[in-house]
Amino acid sequence: MPGHTLLVAALMLLLMPQLADAATIPTLSLNLGDGEDPDTWFTGLKILAMLTILTLAPSILVMMTSFTRILIVFAFLRQALGTQQAPPNQILIGLSLFLTMFVMMPVWQKIDTEALTPYLNEEINQSVAYDKAIAPLRDFMLKQTREDDLVLFLSAAKIDKPAKAEDMPMHVLIPAFVISELRTAFEIGFLIYIPFIVLDLIVASVLMSMGMMMLPPVMISLPLKIILFVLVDGWHLITANLLASFKL
């Protein structure tokens, strides 16, 4: 009986590649018809537009929201503590995503109320929906962007400064917003580094004065950094000041 079982199992293993080859792979096709029905073409183009938006969604999340500043600040915090991979990247990215959702929620609610819902209810057309959707996002980015960065890209594009904020071109605003976010994140990161650098210097000086030059200072300073960070409620302090840095 065991011999028959082994034989059947061996035959099944041999037949698995043939069964896999015989299995049909589901396909997805987009049929626009014969081109005579405008509604069919319009529906197809809308599907293509949605697929394009989904493809660009990660870039939109990173470049047009608060995600960049938050993630870079947390990365600086981890480096300043010297904990290497604690917390791991997945935790930092997840926390940054949820904080981004918190910061951007008023903007997204406004987009949903003024643009998405009326468009889905066919109360406004696509062009009006785009203008209404981009307006809250533009307002948010303008509040976080330094004027010098805007002037830089306006000059590079040879465009006069718009009289109204809503006339600011997005291809100028987005890169200006990104480098402003990078500058702000680096400024916050510098402030985070200062107390930990001071602690490193104190530990190194104490070890030198005790003649313990062969003992790596990081072995002593790392637990001191962690306990100091816990005692001052560091996560609460960093998050509170990070949220306060956004001009909402």
Q: How far apart are CA 16 and CA 9, in angstroms?
A: 11
Which tokens hold the place of 17?
A: 């590649």
Question: How far apart are the C-alpha atoms of 80 and 87, rounded to whole Å?
Answer: 13
pTM score of the predicted model:
0.72
Instruction: Chunk the chain into consecutive blocks of 10 residues (it has 248) and report each block's average pLDDT, rounded to whole numbers.
Output: 47 47 52 54 66 71 85 91 84 90 89 82 79 85 88 85 79 90 92 88 81 74 85 89 84
Read out DSSP for 123-143?
Answer: SS-HHHHHHHHHHHHHHHHHH
pLDDT at 29: 56
Question: Can you read off the two tokens belonging to residue 67?
Answer: 């995600």
Residue in the block written with tokens 């949820």: 98
Q: Which pLDDT belongs to residue 43? A: 64
pLDDT at 221: 78
pLDDT of residue 183: 93
